[in-house]
Amino acid sequence: MSPRWEARADVIVVGTGVAGLTAALEARELGLRVLVITKAAASAGNTRWAQGGVAVVLPDEHDEGDSVTAHIEDTLVAGGGLCADDAVAAILADGADAVTRLRELGAVFDPGADGNLARTREGGHSAFRVVHAGGDATGAEIERALLSAAQDGRVPLLENHIAVDAVRTATGAVVGLVVLDQNGVPGVVSAPAVLLATGGLGQLYQATSNPEVATADGLALALRAGAPVADVEFVQFHPTVLYTGPGARGRCPLVTEAVRGEGAVLVDALGERVMKGVHPREDLAPRDVVAAAITRRMATEPGGVGDHVYLDATHLDTELFRRRFPTVLAACQSIGVDPSADPIPVSPAAHFACGGVASTVDGRTGVIGLYAVGEVARTGLHGANRLASNSLLEGLVVGARAARAIAADIAACLLADPRAAVRAPLPTAPVADRDVLQRVMSRYAGIGRDAEGLAVVGSVLDVSAVDTVLKTKQRVEDAALTLVARALIAAASARTESRGCHVRTDFPDSDPAWQHSLAVRLNPSGQPVLAAPTSLRSAA
Ligand SMILES: Cc1cc2nc3c(=O)[nH]c(=O)nc-3n(C[C@H](O)[C@H](O)[C@H](O)COP(=O)(O)OP(=O)(O)OC[C@H]3O[C@@H](n4cnc5c(N)ncnc54)[C@H](O)[C@@H]3O)c2cc1C
C-alpha cells in the first residue's frame, strides 16, 4: 500500500479511554512525542460509561482492618484461581498513587460526611473501598478529567482515525500502524512504540453494556502482529440490561441490580419466576448465578422467549422508582415501557473482557515495540472473573507504568527503527456478517456453553466468513470480531471445566488440572490455535 498520508512520533497510543489517556499523559511528562488516535469521538469508549467506581485502598482513608493485602485477597478469590499473584500485588500496590495522580489532574471524587472520600462496597469486596464520582458517573468524570488534561495542545489527538494493522520490520518488531483517516483514506503513523488501549469486545454479542466501539480491534491487531492473547474465554456478563428488541445493536443500558434490591423479580413470558428455587437468595443471588439462570430460561424452559425475560417492578412504589432509578426509568421510557405498568424486558449482556493481549504489568507484550494496557490487555489481574471496580484502577496503574516502560525501552535502544518498516498492502482478513456472528456467539458462546454449541459457532464462522480487504472501518471491526470470536471459541472449547465466567454445561465443575491460563496465537495460516503456556511468560 502506498500511504496517502504519514505521521511520526515516539509512541502512538491507540484509544482515549482511561488506559490510553493515562499512558499518553505520562509519556508526555517523560518528554516523549506522543500521538493519540481513536476511531470515534474521544469519549466513545467504555470508560465514559463506568458507574460504580474505582477500587483502591488509600493510605489514610480506609476501613479499619482494610489493607492492600485484603484487596489482593479479594481479587484472588474473585479470579477463581487464575490470577497471576505477582501482577495482582504489583497493580494493587500502585493503586493509591494512581488515584492521587488522577486527582491532581483534576478528577473530583465524591466526598463523604467526614470530609474524606466517600467509599462504597461492591460484590466480592470485604471492605468499603470503592471511590466514586458524580454518584454513579465515575467513568464520565475520569474521562472528563483526563481528556481536559490531554487537550491542552501538547498531546496531539486524531479522532475518527482507526488503527487497521501493525507496520512491522522484517524481524517482526512493530514500528507503526496502518490507519484509515476520517474519510477512509489509508495512511501510516510511524513510531518505535505502539501502545494499544483499545478496550473491550462486548460487540461480539447481541446484548452488551459496551458502546459500539468495543469490537475487539486491538486483540485482532495484536494477534496478527504475532502476540498471544490469553484468558479470552472469560467474558463477564451482567445479568440485566434493557432488551431493546431483536437485532438491536450497540450499547444496552444497564438495569441496575438495585432494582431487584427494591423488590423487582425476574419472570418469563408466562409470568413464572425465573429465580424461584434456583438459589436461596433468589433474585438477589450472585450475578453469575442470575445471568446463568436467565440464559437457561431463555433457551430451554417452557415460556422461554429466546432472547429476553422480564423484570417485574410493577408492584414497586412509582414515586420511589422515579426517585431511585431516574436513569433506568428514562431508558425504559425511550422504548415505550412504563415500569409501573409493564414488566421491563431484560437480558444478560456481555460486560467485561477478563482476558486480552498477554502483557506484563508494564504493558509489554511478547512483540518488540507493541504494548497493551487497559481492558484490551491481560495482565493476570482479573483471572477467570474480575473483581468489581478493579478495571479502571488497572487502566490508571498500568497505563502509567507502560509509558515509563516505553521511555526506558527507547532509552536502552531496545526498539526498532521505523525506517526499517516493511511496507505491506492493506491487509485482507476473513469477515463474517456481524448479525450472524453476534447471534451464534450469544446463543452458543455466552453463558452456558457446551462442546456441540461451540462447534456450531466455529462452523458458522468458517462457512460465512469471506476474505475481505480491510479498507473501511466497518470491515476492520467485523474482521476483528470474526478473528476474536474464533480465538474465544478455541479457548472455550479446550477448557473442559467451568471456572469463573466460563460456564460449560457439559463440564459443570472446576477441574484442578485446568488451573492455568490458556494462550491463543495465530498459526502461519492465520488460524487461532492454542499456544504453549510459556508464551505468557515471554510477554516481557
Ligand atoms: C456500563 C459499564 C459500567 C462499568 N462500570 C465500571 C466500574 O464501576 N468500575 C470499573 O473499574 N470498571 C467499570 N467498567 C469497566 C471499565 O469501564 C472498562 O474496563 C475501562 O473503562 C476500559 O478502559 P480502556 O481505556 O481500556 O478502554 P475504553 O475506555 O473502552 O477505550 C477504548 C478506546 O479505544 C478506541 N479504539 C478501539 N479500537 C480502535 C481502533 N481500531 N483504532 C483506534 N481507536 C480504537 C475507542 O474508540 C476508545 O477510545 C464498566 C464498563 C461498562 C461498559
Q: What is the pLDDT along the chain (540 residues), one digit of tens a residue?
A: 677 888 899 999 999 999 999 999 999 999 999 999 999 999 999 999 988 889 999 998 998 899 999 999 999 999 999 999 999 999 999 999 999 999 999 999 999 888 899 988 777 888 889 998 987 788 999 999 999 999 887 899 999 999 999 999 999 999 999 999 999 999 999 999 999 999 999 999 988 999 999 999 999 999 999 999 999 999 999 989 999 887 666 688 988 777 887 789 999 988 999 999 998 878 877 777 788 889 888 877 555 557 889 999 999 999 988 877 788 899 999 999 999 999 999 988 999 999 999 999 999 999 999 999 999 999 999 999 999 899 999 999 999 999 999 999 999 999 999 999 998 889 999 999 999 999 999 889 998 899 999 999 999 999 999 999 999 999 999 999 999 999 999 999 999 999 999 999 999 999 999 999 999 999 999 999 999 766 665 454
| Nearest-CA residue for atom 5 of ligand 1 | 50
Q: Which amino acid is at 469?
A: V
Look at residue 322 in the predicted model and tell me its pLDDT: 85
| Contacts with 8 (C-beta within 8 Å, 6 or more apart), sequence order | 33, 189, 190, 191, 418
CA distance 176 to 190: 4
Look at residue 305 in the predicted model and tell me its pLDDT: 52
**Which of 120, 137, 142 has the alpha carbon at shortest distance from 129?**
120
Say how many Å lie between the CA of residue 17 and the centre of ligand 1.
6
Atom of ligand 1 nearest to the CA of 179: 42
**Which of 7, 428, 13 has the alpha carbon at shortest distance from 188?**
7
CA distance 47 to 44: 8
Look at residue 540 in the predicted model and tell me its pLDDT: 45
- State which CATH number among 3.30.9.10, 2.40.240.20, 3.90.700.10, 3.40.190.10 fits the domain covering 237-351: 3.90.700.10
CA distance 495 to 365: 24
CA distance 407 to 400: 11
Ligand 1 interacting residues, C-beta cut-off 6 A: 14-20, 37-40, 44-47, 49-54, 138-139, 162-163, 197-200, 209-210, 213, 217-218, 254, 352, 374-376, 389-392, 395
Q: Which amino acid is at 510?
A: S
For the annotated catalytic residues, the residue numbers are 287
Query: 77 φ, ψ to 5°?
Result: -65, -50
Using H for helix, E for strand and C for coil, what is the string for 234-279?
Answer: CEEEEEEEECCCCCCCCECCECCHHHHHCCCEEECCCCCECCCCCC
Helix (H, G, I), strand (E, B) or coil at 111: strand
CA distance 5 to 275: 57
What is the grid cell recorded at 217?
480491534
Looking up cell 447471534 gives: 439
Task: Please answer whether residues 317 and 263 qualify as being in contact, where contact means their C-beta atoms are separated by less than 8 angstroms.
Answer: no
| Contacts with 412 (C-beta within 8 Å, 6 or more apart), sequence order | none
Mutate-to-test residue for ligand 1 from 12, 392, 474, highest number of ligand atoms within 8 A of CB: 392
CA dist list (Å): 160 to 221, 379, 388, 469: 18, 28, 31, 19
Atom of ligand 1 nearest to the CA of 163: 42
Look at residue 249 in the predicted model and tell me its pLDDT: 65
| Contacts with 156 (C-beta within 8 Å, 6 or more apart), sequence order | 9, 34, 35, 36
CA distance 359 to 539: 5
First to last CA, the chain: 31
Mutate-to-test residue for ligand 1 from 43, 47, 160, 165, highest number of ligand atoms within 8 A of CB: 47
Atom of ligand 1 nearest to the CA of 122: 8
Atom of ligand 1 nearest to the CA of 373: 26
| Nearest-CA residue for atom 44 of ligand 1 | 38
Cβ-count burial 198-225 (b if 16+ within 10 Å, e if not): bbbbbbbbbbbbbbebbbbbbbbbbbbb
| Nearest-CA residue for atom 4 of ligand 1 | 50
Largest Cα separation within the chain, whole Å, is 68
Say how many Å lie between the CA of residue 376 and the centre of ligand 1.
9
297, HSE (Cβ side, Cα atoms, 13 Å)? 27
Look at residue 534 in the predicted model and tell me its pLDDT: 62
Atom of ligand 1 nearest to the CA of 18: 25
| Contacts with 355 (C-beta within 8 Å, 6 or more apart), sequence order | 229, 230, 231, 232, 233, 234, 378, 382, 491, 517
Looking up cell 503513523 gives: 189
| Contacts with 426 (C-beta within 8 Å, 6 or more apart), sequence order | 1, 164, 165, 178, 186, 469, 470, 471
CA distance 354 to 307: 24
Mutate-to-test residue for ligand 1 from 198, 235, 473, highest number of ligand atoms within 8 A of CB: 198
Over the Cα atoms of the chain, what is R_g? 22
